[in-house]
Each structure stands twice: as C-alpha cells, then as structure tokens.
Amino acid sequence: MTDRTTTGDRLLWIQGPRLAIALFAIVVAGGTAGYALIEGWSPWDAFYMTVITVTTVGYREVHTLSRAGQAFTSVLAVTGVGAALYTFSLVAASVVEGGLQRRLKARRLTKMIDKLKDHFILCGSGRIGTVIADELRRQSVPFVVIERDPARIKDILARGDLAVEADASREEVLRQVGIDRARGLIAAVGTDAENVYTVLSARVLRPDLFIIGRADSEDAERKLLRAGANRVVSPYQIGARQLAQTALRPAVFDFVQLATSAESLELAMEQVRLGDNSELAGRSILDANLRQRFSVIVVGIQRRAGRMEFNPAPDAVMQGGDQLIVLGRPEQFKALEAAAQGR
C-alpha cells in the first residue's frame, strides 16, 4: 500500500467510474421525473420506461406517449444511451485493468496496519533499513515500513511486509501507521536531515515513544538527541569498531555475535523488565536464585533511572522498573519474563 498511489487511485476512481455512475443516476432520475410530470405516470412506470430507453432494450412503451412525451423520449434516448455506455465501459475497464484489485489490496493492507499493536515503525528501507526489517521479521516482531521509493515499496510488499509510500516526517503519515499504538520508531532514512525531522515529528506525537535515530555524523547525532531520540546509532562508527574488535579479539567478537544473533539456538542475550508487582522486585540476585530457577546469568542491570550496572554483585537488589540484561537459552526467557511481570 502506498500513500501516493492510493491517493492517485482514489482521484482516478472519483473522476472515472464514480463520476460516470453519478451521471447515469442523474439521467435515470431525470427521466423518471420527466415521464411523471409530462405523462402523469406513476413513479414505477416512469422509472421502468426510463431504464428500457437508456439501456436500448427495445420493449414496447409502457403507455401511449403524447407528442411531448415522444420528444422527451428522443432527448432521453440520445443523452441516456451515451451516459449508460460511458458508465458501463469505465466500470468494465476499471475491473479489467486491475484498478479494483489494487483498491481492494490497499484496503486490506490498511486494515492490517490498523490492527497492529506494540509494533515498530521503520522509516526508510535502504541498505540499513532492509537489514533491520530482516532482523525484526526473523524475531517475529510486528513492524510497518515508511518509504518514499515506489520500487522499494514493491519489493517490501513482495516480501509480505507492511509498507506505506510516504514521507516519514509527516505527522499524518505517522498517525496512519499507528504511532499511538507503536512500541518504538526507528529513523533510518537516507539523510541526517530527514531523520531529524522524522524524530521530531514522532516525539511531538508520542512523548513517551522509544525512538532510535540513525546518524552519519557527530553533528547529526547531537541534533537527533535534541530532537527527541532516545538512542542514536552511527552504522559507520559501529562497523569500524566491529572491524577493529574482530582483528584484535576475534574470540570475544565470536562470543558476542553468538549471544546477540537471533539465529542462535543455544545462547542468547535478552533484556527483561521487572514489573512493580513482580516477585523478583526487592530481592537480590542471589536470593531470587535466578541462575538455578531459569538457567540465566545476569550480566547487567539497567536501573529505572537509566544507570547501567555491569556484572552486578550477587547481593545487588532488583527493583520494579529495572531492566535485567541476561544471558542464557532462549527457551528459558519466557519463564523469566512471566516471573518478572508477576504473571
């Protein structure tokens, strides 16, 4: 589904088949009223006479026509037949050329987007955006893409993802993709300026939304933070650091890659938020017995205020609102999340 394409289709539909149908309806209504006034017929007889005239069916007249009625019928036949042919041809062409199918498909996609909840809004589908979309899809996280390139939109829809062809910095577009129900927004458009405007628009609409911005320069990083981004990521800096770490500490890099890869079935790193009513809140790591109960290792705690504690001590007390950074088997995380949320 595309914002620009859908708007264009809607205009064509209004100017084409809908206009023709409206014109045909006016002709039928006018013919019905004319026969009723000129000949004094009942509304049904007048309507029936109008229909058989404009459709060139050729049945006999309902009643004997007066001279005025014959003149009116002549005018109605000339104008009505033309309107009927014009209407039928446009409606048929709309169906044959796929316009109706496109509209139905766009409507289905709109309904699917309206049903999204706790999803990510991915702004941009270039090289970075495509990798992000692949990762979200691999982890079964719902998302919708905003992209301005029609060719990329076509590829996104072909992969089965949801997409809107539009400018991500427009507030009405962000509302269209459900920013009020979204879990977060990732601004990965092609330029820093576009990302800044996108983050600013999203922050105005959702002051509490988690927003990540892509930056290509240090200046853009500062501007994105001022615009309201919670996190700013520079792919070039991360890529350079990763290359250096791979060269200097290949074993460490392999471990981190294994722990953070969604394809790992043996080991994964996850964050788990503690609810205020969780049984784990107010207890130390040792007292909660996390390692024995859930087979996970707590490698960090991000406190509610945002401070990060790495490799916390066994007597470190966990509080509601904290984020536990844990390492373990993926199948163990669901049980830990249930305990963390008090379920």
Tokens representing residue 271 in the block? 């964050």
Q: What is the CB neighbour count within 10 angstroms for residue 322?
A: 21
> Residue 97 has what pLDDT?
57
Q: Are 180 and 118 in contact (CB under 8 A)?
A: no
pLDDT of residue 3: 47
Which residues pair with residue 268 across a beta bridge? 328
Strand partners, 214: 233
266-340 maps to which CATH number?
3.30.70.1450
pLDDT above 50: residue 138:
yes
Predicted local confidence at residue 1, as pLDDT: 47
At 343, the pLDDT band (50, 70, 90 cuts) reads low
Q: Which DSSP symbol is given to 180?
A: G
pLDDT reading at 304 higher than 50: yes
Has this prediction a pTM greater than 0.95?
A: no
Indicate if the pLDDT at residue 307 is higher than 70: yes
Residue 8 has pLDDT above 50, yes or no: no
d(CA 13, CA 50): 26
Between CA 292 and CA 301, with CA 296 as vertex, the angle to 5 degrees is 120
Task: To the nearest 10°, report the CA torsion of 148, 150, 152, 153.
Answer: 90
Going along the chain, which residue ranges are E strands? 120-123, 143-147, 162-165, 184-187, 210-214, 231-233, 268-273, 283-284, 296-302, 308-310, 317-318, 323-328
Give residue 13's pLDDT: 44
CATH top class, domain 116-238: alpha beta
Ordered by start, the domain boundaries in the chain are 3-101, 116-238, 266-340
pLDDT at 155: 92
**Count of beta carbons in the 10 Å neighbourhood of residue 18:** 15
Between 343 and 322, the higher pLDDT residue: 322
Q: What percent of the chain has pLDDT over 90?
A: 41
Answer yes or no: is pLDDT of 100 > 70: no
173 versus 76: the higher-pLDDT residue is 173
As a whole number, mean pLDDT of residues 277-299 equals 90
Query: What are 298's two structure tokens?
Result: 């707590």
Q: How much is the mean pLDDT over the chain?
A: 85
Q: Rounded to an integer, what distance in angstroms lies between the CA atom of residue 73 and that of residue 179?
A: 58
Per-residue pLDDT band at 57 (split at 50, 70, 90): confident
State the architecture of 3-101 in CATH terms: Orthogonal Bundle (1.10)
pLDDT at position 177: 95
pLDDT of residue 263: 59
pLDDT at 241: 85
Rounded distance between C-alpha atoms, residue 229 and residue 234, angstroms? 13
Q: How far apart are CA 81 and CA 94, in angstroms?
A: 20
What is the rounded distance in angstroms from the CA atom of residue 174 to the CA atom of residue 123?
10
What is the structure's pLDDT at 266?
A: 65
pLDDT digits (tens, 9 = 90+) for 210-229: 999 999 888 899 999 999 99
Tokens of 246: 């791979």
DSSP characters over 288-304: HTHHHHH-EEEEEEE-T
- Is pLDDT larger for residue 323 or for residue 260? 323
Quick one: average pLDDT of 185-197? Answer: 93
The residue among 211 and 69 whose pLDDT is bigger is 211
- Which pLDDT belongs to residue 116? 92
Average pLDDT over residues 89-96: 69
Dihedral angle at the C-alpha atoms of 152, 155, 156, 157, nearest 10 degrees? 120
